[in-house]
Amino acid sequence: MMSMPALRKLIKPRLDHVFSFLRSRCNAKIWFHTDGAVVPIIPDLIDLGIDILNPIQVTAKGMDDTRRLKEEFGDDLTFWGGIDTQRLLPFGTPDTVRADVRRRILDLAEGGGYVLGSVHNIQGDVSPENITAMFDEARAFGTYPLPD
């Protein structure tokens, strides 16, 4: 919704000021929420010192390639989310939900740095079976050491 030069001129200095203030007073992790296709600004967010990126909105442009996200930014960020609430959870089957949970774990969890969860709040159009499939698969497949 804003150009990269405008983001860097108007927003980034203010975020840097706030985050620097927080870091000077405690060692809390900075959990940053931003929706959408944010791959182009991830290096800026890392430069600002954020620790956790929420959500990994996999339906947004460039965000579905979670393996690439981990490869490029996984040393610097913890990823939070990744289980789609727009299409997968409301319209998928328990089997497609389980398969996606496994994919996101394999893509994002190696070496730590992944909190599996829905991209946004789970809405009323999601079946209990799909919610259960997400949590059950995370519990069965997402423990260390990860399966091959």
pTM: 0.93
Strand-pairing partners, residue 60, are none
Residues 85-135: tens digit of each pLDDT: 999 999 999 999 999 999 999 999 999 999 999 999 999 999 999 999 999
At residue 66 the predicted structure's pLDDT band, cuts being 50, 70 and 90, is very high
Name the percent of the chain in helix, strand, coil, to the closest 5: 50, 15, 40
Helix (H, G, I), strand (E, B) or coil at 24: helix
Report the C-alpha gap between 1 and 126 in whole angstroms: 29
Q: Which residue has the tokens 């001129």?
A: 9
Q: Select from 145, 141, 146, 121 the least CA-distant residue to 131.
A: 121
Report the C-alpha gap between 28 and 16 in whole angstroms: 15
Helix axis angle for 94-108 and 128-141, nearest 10°, is 40
